Amino acid sequence: MSTRKKVHAFVRVRPTDDFAHEVIRYGDDNKSIDIHLKKDTRRGVVNNQQTDWSFKLDGVLHDASQDLVYETVAKDVISQALDGYNGTIMCYGQTGAGKTYTMTGATENYKHRGILPRALQQVFRMIEERPTHAITVRVSYLEIYNESLFDLLSTLPYVGPSVTPMTIVENPQGVFIKGLSVHLTSQEEDAFSLLFEGETNRIIASHTMNKNSSRSHCIFTIYVEAHSRTLSDEKYITSKINLVDLAGSERLGKSGSEGRVLKEATYINKSLSFLEQAIIALGDQKRDHIPFRQCKLTHALKDSLGGNCNMVLVTNIYGDAAQLEETLSSLRFASRMKLVTTEPAINEKYDAERMVKNLEKELVLLKQELAIHDSLANRSLVNYDPMDEIQIAEINSQVRRYLEGTLDEIDIINLRQIQEVFNQFRVVLSQQEQEVECALRRKYTFIDKNDFAAISAVQKAGLMDVDGHLVGEPDGQGFGLGVAPFSAKPGKKAKSKKTFKDQLSSSARKEGASSPVGGKDLDVSISKTQLTPSSKDGDVKDMLLRDRETSNIEPPSSDSPKEELRPPRPSTPPSKPVAFEDFKNERGSEINRIFKENKSILNERRKRASETTQRINAIKREIDMTKEALNFQKSLREKQGEYENQGLMIIDEEEFLLILKLKDLKKQYRTEYQDLRDLRAEIQYCQHLVDQCRHRLLTEFDIWYNESFFIPEDMQVALKPGSSIRPGMIPVSRIMSLGEDDQDKFSQLQQTMLPEGPDSISFYNAKVKTEQKHKYLKTMMGLQQTQRK
């Protein structure tokens, strides 16, 4: 059931050293903003200028950190999305007010990341907390630039640019972008990589208000689909989270835009104006038509604006008095957005495959219940399953005996048997028709009524007159079949037969009489379209059958086995990366296996060392805190006065417990530190083994590569096992060396730099990979340009 709820609107004020305290004031509940202006005395005594405005909001974020902004604005929306509710978070405001910083944040610093990366992180954290569900996450990144749609992830190698332009399509399920690529992400790092890839493709420009101004509206969408791991549960939920970073509205007089930037600003202001018109129409309960199709932005956000969605607006404003007019405009937009109502509802769907399986289970249960009813009714054992071949053969036998008269009645038990009996009657009838036709074909030769060429050939042969009467041939016993013509002469029997054969055969070949003739066009009775020689002299039938057989003869296929030829050596040797993969799977598989095992042991020791380091740091912090507490107790005891008994200092119980705790902590510290020293020694030894295996693997690969692709084939015989030449005796022109790979370096960096924030590993991993990719592409483009010159 859906319930109507208002859109939540928050305001975030950009920090500034010149905040207008006399003009902008916050309410005591931190949910309202009051704007006060002094009257312009130049307008005279009668001055109706409005000087005070008050805006009621859901929260005012002033000097708020990124953590606080996310907790206040987005956390509940993302949490409800995994329960099946759609969500939209939109950043609106003047150019340079901090919309992109609020939505995306600064990728250089993990703590300054915005709503979007934090939302991705929360989604995957919540997936880990729900082991009872199989949840898939997909993402897309859309850019609306100058009223044109662009896919920010089209630069990925497996996507490529779209040939046809993207369009916005509506269907009963909602609005979607045709041609927009959607990417499956199985882990947090993959999602961050897609985010950073899209961010590098965004269009930005510089003007007086903002050095890195976004010149387009961007919509990052997260699609969530959750299936229960309980197979009996047919329902599954889907949800969609739209994270919208709008381009900033700007006054051309202040921004000083020119040329292309001026054109972009015109499109931006136009689309934002249409967005405000749609918001005003949604807030008016009397309006029937909402102008969603005025621009691409409102059309793409039709589901989010007043639809099945949890909607949150973050309005970014300046705190300077110089930007007061734009601030008032943004606050008016926020107050209008609060009038819009949405109807969020859980998006439940049904899994067709699971429904079929559950229905099959239910069918089995119903059959079992039916069997119980049959036994209670004293009925014989009835099988309600589909009949197998043995049961069908038995019914066929009963039907045949019933038709022959040897069986008086057929036992009927259930509906399936009735249906199968009628089916077997049809089968028996069809078989009898085929038997009759085969018997007639053995005795007669059939000619198609519509085959005028064959009929003409028969008439020319003298076996049929013009009236269609058949002419009989004497069978050597003094009589013939049919009516003999007056011109028939007994002595020309053989010649007429030969002539008929030749003519019929040639005419049949010319007119295609050798093709099979359907049974519907054949006449079984003796008529004017048939030829009826006796079974003894069936030469005409033999000629037709022989022509049919020769027309369908295919050249015999040779069954002799072919020798498997050894694949020839390629004309050009494969690239070393490709050959290296083949080598690891074949000749170097054993060395590769040892290398992987040593490396896995090394990674496991490094992981344990990292965990031990974190425990040592935690114990060290606790020791420091205990020492501070103990020093405080000592100073307090000295102020209150010290007590001695027989030369011994008397301390209270709390100080005594702190001393014991400090002693235990130091003991734990020494134990953990000794374990860390042992682990470091093991890591050093494992690293030495990994380096040795790497060196051996590469050395043998180089030997194998040169011997396999550069040595003449007539010398390959000398390299076989047992020959006088051993691997490695052939000189190698160039030896590859593989030092530490990027993964090893990054693992070592994580041990030293990230013990305080392990959650940031995926964020930094994705950032490093994206930067490496774009540096590589930039270098390759530079090389190509140099080669062209």
Give the residue numbers of the binding site. Answer: 93-100
> Could you tell me how far CA 753 lies from the centroid of its own chain?
35
Enumerate the known binding-site residues for ATP.
93-100
Cβ-based neighbour number of residue 250 at 10 Å: 25
Q: How far apart are CA 404 and CA 390, in angstroms?
A: 21
b/e per residue, 676-714, with b = 16+ CB within 10 A?
Answer: beebeebbeebbebbeebbeebbbbbbbbbbbbeeeeee
Compute the half-sphere exposure of residue 689: CA atoms within 13 Å on the CB side of its CA: 18
Q: How far apart are CA 217 and CA 145, in angstroms?
A: 7
Q: How far apart are CA 569 and CA 712, in angstroms?
A: 10
Q: Which of 664, 687, 665, 682 minimizes the C-alpha distance to 609?
A: 682
Q: How far apart are CA 434 and CA 425, in angstroms?
A: 14
Q: Which amino acid would we find at residue 773? A: K
Q: Which of 20, 239, 241 minimizes the C-alpha distance to 120?
A: 241
Per the DSSP assignment, residues forming a β-bridge with 168 are 177
Residues shown for the chain: 789
Q: Which of 246, 220, 240, 217 minimizes the C-alpha distance to 140?
A: 220
Q: How far apart are CA 584 and CA 696, in angstroms?
A: 12
* 718 CB burial (10 A radius; 0-12, 13-18, 19+): exposed
Angle (CA) 595-598-599 rounded to 5° is 85
3-state SS, 124-181, equals HHHHHCCCCEEEEEEEEEEEEECCEEEECCCCCCCCCCCCCCCEEEEECCEEEEECCC
Q: How far apart are CA 316 and CA 140, in angstroms?
A: 25
Q: Which of 516, 502, 505, 463 minimizes the C-alpha distance to 485?
A: 463
Helix (H) or strand (E) holding 548: helix 539-551
Per the DSSP assignment, residues forming a β-bridge with 133 are 228
3-state SS, 265-334, equals HHHHHHHHHHHHHHHHHHHCCCCCCCCHHHCHHHHHCCCCCCCCCEEEEEEEECCCHHHHHHHHHHHHHH
| Token code pair at residue 568 | 């020839």
Decide the pairing of beta strands 24-26 and 310-317: unpaired
Quick check: helix, strand or coil at residue 435?
helix
Please name the residues in contact with 469: beta carbons below 8 A apart, sequence gap of 6 or more. 482, 483, 528
3-state SS, 193-212, equals HHHHHHHHCCCEECCCCCCC
Decide the pairing of beta strands 87-93 and 235-245: parallel
- Residue 480 per-residue DSSP state: B
Helix locations, 586-725, DSSP H: 589-640, 653-709
Q: How far apart are CA 115 and CA 121, in angstroms?
A: 10
| Token code pair at residue 35 | 């704007």
Q: Which of 328, 302, 196, 290 minimizes the C-alpha distance to 240?
A: 302
Cβ-based neighbour number of residue 349 at 10 Å: 14
